[in-house]
A and B are shown apart, each in its own frame.
Chain A
Amino acid sequence: MQQDKLVIGGVELDSRLFIGTGKYSDDALIPAVCEASASQVITVAMRRVDRGGTGVMGHIPSSMRLLPNTSGARNAEEAVRLARLARAAGCGDWIKIEVISDTRHLLPDGYETAKATEILAKEGFTVLPYINPDLYVARACVNAGAAAVMPLGAPIGTNRGLRTREMIGILIEEIELPIVVDAGIGRPSQACEAMEMGAAACLVNTGIASSDDPVTMAMAFRRAVEAGRAAYLAGAGAVSHGEAVASSPLTGFLR
């Protein structure tokens, strides 16, 4: 396990749990969540700043790699504009492309996402597009120069888990890039399941931030992701759908 690094855009990561910074009851919890999660990648959003605004950067440990998202973008052009602004902030060139024009279900627009991915990859960004787990959208993002793809498990912020399990399984099978399951993961068991299936990593925001005790939940997600990864590497035993298969010898009984 010591050698089991996740490599995205040439960067080696020890942790396969990415976390977010949204929806905390108090942003002052974020440093402790970072520590408990052992995560190395953290998402942020970019917004207009009001007078006296301080934002979230003061709560993010400097050791974390920033993954700004393009939330608020309704098309590729707006996503590209936000991405360039995010890079101008001087915190690296990783970008999570998020293009959403449906405000009810918050589902990503695959076509616009692939377009933005192509433009930004050419500009040297490390692009992680957030997509529906659709094989053709994922392939379009690969061809556009993505560094990983991030399919959703369930709609954003719903904590409903791996509703798209089979589609994510297809991406894991077919796509060479790391698959980072993003959105909808509400419980550690769901993150663990994604990792057991062979996902490269999970991104969890609401599942941690909306819990009663985000620091403890961050620790639980860390363990779940590690357990799921170890199980994937160990290779699960075959499932028997018929009769039971004894684990103890069927001979030499005391009679």
Chain B
Amino acid sequence: MRITVNGETEEITEGLTLLDLIRERGLNPDIVVAELNRDIVARDNFAAVRLNPGDSLELLHFVGGG
């Protein structure tokens, strides 16, 4: 199924949770912030949120800045 991650359309396996996707991308869920269809997903809910076709997901983290 297709979803949008950080502005790019991607093919992902059906039934993945947000936590699965974060781990699959080699990311540490403890430092990632997620916004799904414009709603912030609390970190505690990463494992409970299942991704659906057409979802638009933003994954962010802190980088160097002034």
**How many A-B pairs with Cβ below 8 Å?**
95
A156 within 8 A of B: yes
Residues of A within 8 A of B62 (CB): 44-46, 55-57, 66, 68, 86, 89, 91
The residue of chain A having its C-beta at the shortest distance from the C-beta of B62 within the complex is A44
The distance in angstroms between the C-alpha atoms of A34 and B23, with both chains bound, is 31
A residues 63-81 near B (Cβ < 8 Å) are 66, 68-69, 71
Q: Once the chains bind, are B63 and A88 in contact (CB under 8 Å)? A: no
The distance in angstroms between the C-alpha atoms of A44 and B40, with both chains bound, is 19
Interface size bracket, B side: 20 to 34
Q: Once the chains bind, are A54 and B65 in contact (CB under 8 Å)? A: no
Q: Once the chains bind, are A69 and B66 in contact (CB under 8 Å)? A: yes
**How near does chain B come to A67, taking the closest CB pair, in angstroms?**
10
Residues of B within 8 A of A20 (CB): 64-66
A105 within 8 A of B: no
Q: Mark A188-212, 1 if CB is under 8 A from B, else 0.
A: 0000000000000001011000000
The distance in angstroms between the C-alpha atoms of A156 and B66, with both chains bound, is 9
A21 within 8 A of B: yes
Q: Once the chains bind, are B65 and A43 in contact (CB under 8 Å)? A: yes
B60 within 8 A of A: yes
A124 within 8 A of B: no
The residue of chain B having its C-beta at the shortest distance from the C-beta of A49 within the complex is B61
**How near does chain B come to A158, taking the closest CB pair, in angstroms?**
12
The residue of chain A having its C-beta at the shortest distance from the C-beta of B43 within the complex is A90
The residue of chain A having its C-beta at the shortest distance from the C-beta of B24 within the complex is A51
Q: Once the chains bind, are A46 and B64 in contact (CB under 8 Å)? A: no
Residues of B within 8 A of A156 (CB): 66
A45, A69, A183 pick with most chain B CB within 10 angstroms: A45
Q: Once the chains bind, are B61 and A88 in contact (CB under 8 Å)? A: no
The residue of chain A having its C-beta at the shortest distance from the C-beta of B32 within the complex is A49
Q: Once the chains bind, are A84 and B40 in contact (CB under 8 Å)? A: yes
**Interchain CB contact (< 8 A) of B35 among A24, A85, A206:** A85
Residues of A within 8 A of B28 (CB): 54
A27 within 8 A of B: yes
